[in-house]
Chain A
């Protein structure tokens, strides 16, 4: 229990720092940034309490918001995907999730990719809708969502492959 607790604390801090100090300065083509701090929500243990996950996601989003001066857009998007996570888990992993025995290192690559994709796209849509906050510019929202999602998904998959041995 204790080691799991400390792993997640370290992961929380590392992801926030990597996000605000490195990834937010990429600005590829002017506005495309990956937001891989949502890996914390994606890789949170399935067994744990949902209330804990939602609260921690709010805290995660609010920390990122504080660094980026963005009001509450990251907090909102994080809380949203944290609440929607069981549904996404069920639709991407199917039966394994029902038995409550997912280990993210052992599941097959295809369903893991579906899981990351759904989570990322949902997060980015909420994030950019809140950021731009205007229905008349929905094309810009979709454009930002599309390009940033590709970047985020690619980076999340690479990161999970690289670090999969250590977290076993």
Chain B
């Protein structure tokens, strides 16, 4: 017993080092698997508050470009609205039974990140604004990510520029499905894999979300095909997708809640 205690006292530095290094390694490995990181995230009162107050200042720097983005989106939506066939008065809409499939919330990115291997963003909406895990996040131009951790007023978003994210996407023309992943190299591109060889793929074609995952509705724009090649087994295409979004400069985002999500996942039995 004496010897054991002596050993511990003699090597206390090394043992402490091993313990703490082991803990950090555990946190690191947890953060590499989807939805597993438990304690260390920026969606808490302290870090969220700091980022929020910093964002109050830095938000002014790119006010002009963000305004232009919002104005462009307004213009597009207004055009859509005016071109809709105005035959609403011929249809009876009962507002009590009217149900919407998707609900939208707006939020601001208070911490952006795009240079790491696993990028996580922080937004200024949380449980108090009915934001929950696995809601989709998009911007006016296209897809941004999926909500991961939430606290009272803040939430973290697993960006599409994250090695652990995998989002169901498809070719706009032909409905061939694949999954969107990121190889960690360039923040302008993501990779679409598992598109069957039979699909007609052409550079410049548009990629959209598929609506199969119950996170994003079908048709959220992702990007255009930059280049493509067959994988090693020569059965599937690996497509390099140029994103519509400039992930290095996003500020205003929309959060999508699928109102039927519970029903869908109950049906699928998970």
Flag whether A95 is at the interface (Cβ < 8 A): no
Q: Which of A65, A79, A80 contacts B40 (CB 8 A)?
A: A65
In the complex, what distance in Å separates the CA atom of A73 from the CA atom of B21? 10
Flag whether B191 is at the interface (Cβ < 8 A): no
Contact across chains for B187 and A76 when beta carbons are under 8 A apart: no
Q: Which of B24, B51, B54, B156 contacts A76 (CB 8 A)?
A: B24
Flag whether B8 is at the interface (Cβ < 8 A): no
In the complex, what distance in Å separates the CA atom of A89 from the CA atom of B133? 47
Contact across chains for B47 and A66 when beta carbons are under 8 A apart: yes
The proximity string for B residues 109-122 relative to A, scoring 1 for CB distances below 8 Å and 0 otherwise, is 00101111110101
Query: Which residue of chain B lies nearest to A53 when distances are taken between CB atoms in the complex?
Result: B13
Contact across chains for B115 and A79 when beta carbons are under 8 A apart: no
Contact across chains for A54 and B20 when beta carbons are under 8 A apart: yes
Binds B, one of A103-111, A125-133, A150-158, A159-167: A125-133
Flag whether B50 is at the interface (Cβ < 8 A): yes
Distance (Å) between the CB of B12 and the closest chain A CB? 6
In the complex, what distance in Å separates the CA atom of A75 from the CA atom of B17? 11
In the complex, what distance in Å separates the CA atom of A60 from the CA atom of B233? 47
Flag whether B240 is at the interface (Cβ < 8 A): no
In the complex, what distance in Å separates the CA atom of A166 from the CA atom of B170? 60
Tally of contact residues, A, Cβ under 8 A: 34
Flag whether A33 is at the interface (Cβ < 8 A): yes
In the complex, what distance in Å separates the CA atom of A167 from the CA atom of B117? 37
Distance (Å) between the CB of A58 and the closest chain B CB? 5
Contact across chains for B32 and A30 when beta carbons are under 8 A apart: no
Contact across chains for A69 and B28 when beta carbons are under 8 A apart: no
Chain A positions 74-98 with a Cβ under 8 Å from a chain B Cβ: 75-76, 79-80, 82-83
Flag whether A43 is at the interface (Cβ < 8 A): no
Residue numbers in B under 8 Å from A50 (CB-CB): 13
Residue numbers in A under 8 Å from B30 (CB-CB): 71
Tally of contact residues, B, Cβ under 8 A: 41
Residue numbers in B under 8 Å from A75 (CB-CB): 20, 23-24, 27
Flag whether B139 is at the interface (Cβ < 8 A): no
Query: Which residue of chain B lies nearest to A29 when distances are taken between CB atoms in the complex?
Result: B115
Contact across chains for B27 and A65 when beta carbons are under 8 A apart: yes
Chain B positions 9-65 with a Cβ under 8 Å from a chain A Cβ: 12-14, 16-17, 20-21, 23-32, 37, 40-42, 44, 46-47, 50-51, 54
Interface of A is mostly: helix
Contact across chains for A69 and B20 when beta carbons are under 8 A apart: no
Distance (Å) between the CB of A161 and the closest chain B CB? 28
- Given A71-B32, A133-B32, also A79-B42 (CB < 8 A): no
Contact across chains for A68 and B54 when beta carbons are under 8 A apart: no
The proximity string for B residues 122-165 relative to A, scoring 1 for CB distances below 8 Å and 0 otherwise, is 10000000000000000000000000000000001000000000
In the complex, what distance in Å separates the CA atom of A51 from the CA atom of B20? 11
Contact across chains for A71 and B184 when beta carbons are under 8 A apart: no
Residue numbers in A under 8 Å from B122 (CB-CB): 69
Residue numbers in A under 8 Å from B120 (CB-CB): 69
Flag whether A34 is at the interface (Cβ < 8 A): no
- Given A69-B42, A71-B40, also A79-B13 (CB < 8 A): no
- Given A21-B54, A66-B47, A132-B184, also A71-B31 (CB < 8 A): yes
Contact across chains for A54 and B16 when beta carbons are under 8 A apart: yes
In the complex, what distance in Å separates the CA atom of A58 from the CA atom of B44? 19
In the complex, what distance in Å separates the CA atom of A73 from the CA atom of B14? 19
- Which chain A residues have a beta carbon within 8 Å of chain B's beta carbons? 17, 20-21, 24, 27, 30-31, 33, 50-51, 54-55, 58, 61-62, 65-73, 75-76, 79-80, 82-83, 130-133
A-B contact pairs, 29 of them (CB 8 A): A21-B54, A30-B187, A33-B115, A51-B12, A54-B17, A54-B20, A55-B16, A55-B20, A58-B23, A58-B24, A61-B24, A66-B41, A67-B42, A69-B40, A69-B41, A71-B29, A72-B31, A75-B20, A75-B24, A76-B21, A76-B24, A76-B28, A83-B13, A83-B14, A83-B21, A131-B116, A131-B118, A132-B117, A133-B28
Q: 9 closest A-B pairs (Cβ-Cβ)?
A: A71-B31, A72-B27, A76-B24, A72-B24, A69-B120, A75-B24, A83-B17, A31-B115, A71-B28
